[in-house]
Amino acid sequence: MKTFKKIALAGILVSFMSCEKEFLETFPTASLSQEQVSEAAEVNPDVSKATLLGIYENLYRRGSGGTSSQEDFGITTQYIQLDMLSGDMAHLGKSYNRQTAISELTATQDPDNDYNYRPWRFLFRVINLSNLVIDGLGGNDAQPETDAQKFTLGQAKALRGYAYFFLAHVFVNDITDMSKQVLPIYRSAEDIDQPKSTLQEVFDLVIEDLTDAETLLEGFVRTDKIEINQDVVRGLLAKTYGALNNWPKTEEYAKKVIDSGNYTIMSNDEVALFPEESGVVGGFNDVNSVDGIMWGIDITPQGQGLASLYSWWGFMDYYSYSYAAVGNRKGMDADLYAKFRDGDIRKDNQFNSILMPTGKFYYKGAEANNFRPFSGPQTNIDSDSHYMRIAELYLLHAEAAAENGNDAAARASIRAVLDLRLNGATEYLDDLSGKALAEEAAIQARLELFAEGKSYFIMKRRRETRTRGTNWLDYAGESFQHSDERLTYEIPQEEILFNPNISDQN
């Protein structure tokens, strides 16, 4: 049975969906208790795996943030919003008022606004459901007896670590202040109403979870890309150490992923639209056909039944049947676009005249419909979503290697990407070294990974100040430090009201 069918069944078991807003104090065990999962797992070990697959469903399902909003569809809605907060994705049109409170920076100053509630609810749901699996398999210190149990526990720990990694960025203004009390830590589904722990303790848990997962997932061969394998875990470890500016560990773990040899950098045809060529395979809409995508979900009409109005495609793809085609447009920041070098195929083939990524992202079937705007399906979309690709790890390795003074290795990793995008015109890299070479790697990552939800994490990793370009409708020309509180979410007011151990914002 394909994993997407198992996920659909797990969705019935775990019952994530909600038609109205759910208060935070009820979410950890709204469907299953720790005792139920533990007892069921003793009889049938597949129960823990089914719960695990239900967590993966949470990454893309509408309502995973606890509301019925059309902006509530898992991790990719956060990718869009974080790219806007980072300054790399400009809001070019505000029809239907979608996500305007993000570009206008009003939502992030109002704890009652659901834009803050949804990521908190979504990520802590991932944590608590992961804890159900971990508890059901014996707890944090369990030593699984079978490979199946080991692989399930490894994925659950990886998901919990990933969720805390995300939280530590989007709800913490300054990720350099490690002593600040920031987030509650839940190591078990039985934990309730925890007080804030320090940022250092949160990152310690992330590293502990991901390191455990790396060991537990040794030998795991996944059946679908939605499942986290050892390479994805190592990629997450590289990003975590990068956030801490532990450059030796960042370089080490990014190199492990590259050296696995399991993935190839996406070709120019795969990342950009060349209208004069036939057999276009790009669009980032099919995770299974692209070796360069390490982690993502294969969306099928039968398995997921998603609608364009509440999907990444509806909000970003000019050709889909949704908002991007009717005036709620988003495109690359003009100042970032100016950083493309002449002859870069991304500059020439990914964007239209107003810098919408019309040549980078397009739904399955767009070519057959002559790339007409608003021509995609309204329901039962089958365009996929991806969460990690190998190019990110090449460029992160280059950044870390340059920070470590390993310029030759840094140039080799940047060239692995830019020899494709610049058709070999990468001589300029020989004139860069050290910090300048690291900065170039980070800029190339922003260009390569535009609208893929990575820029915000780069901004915080590099401790950058970003300035919005001239094509922004809001705050054009204004600069924002990485620690500006307007760029991070507020702890939802419900959490402060109903958790007696949390009484203030970060």
What CATH code is carried by the domain that includes residue 47?
A: 1.25.40.390
Residue 289 lies in a domain: no
Q: What is the pLDDT of residues 39-63, one digit of tens each?
A: 555 545 566 677 888 899 999 999 9
Q: What is the pLDDT of residues 259-283, one digit of tens each?
A: 999 999 999 999 999 866 656 679 9
Residue 50 lies in a domain: yes
Q: pLDDT class for 225, splitting at 50, 70, 90?
A: very high
Which carries the bigger pLDDT value, residue 277 or residue 73?
73
**Residue linked to tokens 């702890």:** 491
Residue 457 lies in a domain: no
DSSP H stretches of helix in 171-198: none
Residue 56 lies in a domain: yes
Q: Are strands 479-481 and 465-467 parallel, antiparallel or unpaired?
A: antiparallel
Q: pLDDT class for 303, splitting at 50, 70, 90?
A: confident
Q: What is the pLDDT of residues 431-459, one digit of tens each?
A: 999 999 999 999 999 999 999 999 999 99
pLDDT at 45: 55
pLDDT at 305: 78
If one counts the domains in the chain, the total is 1
pLDDT at 42: 56
Q: Residue 192: exposed, middle, or buried by beta-carbon count in 10 A (0-12, 13-18, 19+)?
A: middle
Residue range 463-472: mean pLDDT, rounded: 98
Q: What is the pLDDT of residues 344-375, one digit of tens each?
A: 999 999 999 999 999 999 999 999 999 999 99
Residue 263 lies in a domain: no
Q: pLDDT class for 31, splitting at 50, 70, 90?
A: very low
Residue 70 lies in a domain: yes
For the chain, counts of helices (H) and of strands (E): 19, 8
Q: How many whole angstroms separate alpha carbon 458 and alpha carbon 86? A: 9
Residue range 203-217: mean pLDDT, rounded: 98
pLDDT at 500: 96
φ, ψ dihedrals at 330, nearest 5°: -135, 140
> Coil, strand, or helix at residue 6?
helix
pLDDT at 302: 79
- Report pTM: 0.93
Asked if pLDDT for residue 93 goes beyond 70, the answer is yes
Give the C-alpha distances (Å, rounded to integers) separating 441 from 49, 346, 436, 448, 453. Answer: 38, 16, 9, 10, 17
Query: For the chain, what is the mean pLDDT?
Result: 91
Residue 292 lies in a domain: no
Residue span of the structural domain in which 150 resides: 3-81+107-244+490-498
Residue 254 lies in a domain: no
pLDDT at 84: 98
Q: How many whole angstroms separate alpha carbon 467 and alpha carbon 254? A: 29
Residues above pLDDT 90, as percent of the chain: 86
pLDDT at 10: 45
Residue range 383-409: mean pLDDT, rounded: 98
Asked if pLDDT for residue 168 goes beyond 60, the answer is yes
DSSP for 390-434 reads: HHHHHHHHHHHHHHTT-HHHHHHHHHHHHHHHTTT--GGGGG--H
